[in-house]
Amino acid sequence: MRIIVPAAIALLAAPASAVIRVDINSGIAQPLPIAVPGFVTAAPVATEAGTTAELGNKVAQVIANDLKSSGLFRPLDPAAYTTSVSVADVTAPQFASWRTVAAQALVTGTVSANPDGGITVGCYAYDVFSAAELARQGFVTTAAGWRRAAHKCADLVYSRLTGETGYFDSRIVYVSETGPKTRRIKRLAVMDQDGAGHRFLTSGQNLVLTPRFAPGQQTITYMSFEGNRPRVWLYTLGSGRQQAIGDFPNMSFAPRFSPDGASLVFSMSVGGNTDIYRMELATRRLTRLTTEPGIDTAPSYAPDGSRIVFESDRGGTQQLYVMNADGGGQQRISFGEGRHATPVWSPRGDLIAFTRLGGGRFSIGVMKPDGSGERLLTNAYQDEGPTWSPNGRVIMFFRSARGGKVDLWSVDLSGQNERAIPTPLEGSDPAWSPLLP
């Protein structure tokens, strides 16, 4: 699916004087009240995904849900306002009417059918009190692609109001779990960031763990116990092709892509000693990056590809280390209480998220790449395996209740807005994709 912005509808550039602004850093005590009335259509036209009028309402619901999930916005209940929106109102809103319901921002728009069967979603955002236009953009897609157009509109609004890139037009790959713990069935699954479009990728016949997106998002690397040979595999989303990356005699696991997608880093265990290796995918050439005795695992690249953060118990307990991409300059960065594990470098490069174990509890935390500024965001029986939203503002992880279920959760970088991510079955090992192209 492709989304393009045709010159015809794209931009009149929005005025630069945004009056309202959402401060993303301090955590939001008062989410911004925002109205997202159903998107309108000049004349309802049937599409393969419903009429344009129906799609207009659905698009608005998806946008409102995205904005609400961020914790930064409070979409008003459409039942609470009576303002009806005409096509003319989209470009000239009745600001006085929106002020009476205390909406501070307004997202409105249109859905229209295109001759090729596709649709165009026009997305407009306004500051209600200053009656100023904040943004407008058109998204052309197939009728079935209406959700992505809605996510892109939500990203536009989020970006204009917070000054940060959005993250709603993205996906999650994770491990869907079911059955007794002693005979757990695990399957790879993907879904949109908001849980829509859920799809299982593997049958559950083989135990699978730790799926991670390639930067191009069409490939996933993961670990599979296929044939009782625990190894790193690649899954191609378009074709469903599954392929082991090598015929190693030893267990290989904990894979991640390099930022350019050309290499994988992962761990391999040889005779009880676990080290980190890099494989160049084009040539399958293997380079060993760590040689210390002990467990070196969970490698994750910095977004510029120059360094790798990983965990090692070479000092006695699991702690975080950073090394150059060639394995040189290995240096411990975590010195706080407890153990530190499963580090993941933020896509912004400024922070490293990790799992902290201490006092019989697991937390998700962040620290700077030099180890300073350690901050714990959650605390529970078992919170594990962080993954970053594409804009580096939200962290998803999995939470295991003591003797109970395991589910996906997310939390803001501020430590606020902790929320469960619904999945059809139980879920673990989430990995967030970059923004979709």
Partner 1 sequence: MSQRPVLKRSLLLPGIAMLALGISACATKKKDLPPPPPATTAPVAPSSGSTSSNSVPPPATVGNANVPGSVADFVAQSGADHVLFGYDSYELDDEARAILGKQAEWLARYPNVRITVEGHADERGTREYNLALGDRRATAAKNFLAAQGVGPARMSTISYGKERPAVDGSDEAAWAQNRRAVTVVAVAG
**Residues near partner 1, by CB under 8 A:** 180-184, 186, 207, 209-210, 225, 228, 230, 251, 253-254, 267, 269, 271-272, 274, 295, 297-298, 311, 313, 318, 341-342, 355, 357, 360, 381-382, 384-385, 400, 402-403, 429
Asked if residue 408 lies in contact with residue 174, where contact means CB atoms within 8 angstroms, the answer is yes
**Which residue number, 137 or 319, has a Cβ lying nearer to partner 1?**
319
CA angle 122, 111, 17 (to 5 degrees): 20
Q: Least distance (Å) from partner 1 to the CB of residue 35?
A: 43
CA pair distance 110, 38, nearest whole angstrom = 9
Q: Which of 169, 163, 122 is nearest to 12 (CA)?
A: 122
Q: Least distance (Å) from partner 1 to the CB of residue 207?
A: 6
Q: What DSSP assignment string belongs to 46-62?
A: EEBTEEHHHHHHHHHHH
Q: Least distance (Å) from partner 1 to the CB of residue 347?
A: 21
CA pair distance 142, 12, nearest whole angstrom = 24
**Which residue number, 65 or 274, has a Cβ lying nearer to partner 1?**
274
**Which residue number, 73 or 388, has a Cβ lying nearer to partner 1?**
388
CA pair distance 275, 298, nearest whole angstrom = 10
**Which residue number, 127 or 296, has a Cβ lying nearer to partner 1?**
296
Asked if residue 234 lies in contact with residue 220, where contact means CB atoms within 8 angstroms, the answer is yes
**Which residue number, 53 or 425, has a Cβ lying nearer to partner 1?**
425
Q: What token pair was written down for 47?
A: 């599409």
CA pair distance 268, 232, nearest whole angstrom = 10
DSSP tag of 156: H
Q: Work out whether the CA dihedral 60, 64, 67, 72 comes out positive or negative.
A: positive
**Which residue number, 194 or 275, has a Cβ lying nearer to partner 1?**
275
Q: Least distance (Å) from partner 1 to the CB of residue 340?
A: 10
Asked if residue 354 lies in contact with residue 334, where contact means CB atoms within 8 angstroms, the answer is yes
Q: What token pair was written down for 33?
A: 């009240």
**Which residue number, 137 or 297, has a Cβ lying nearer to partner 1?**
297
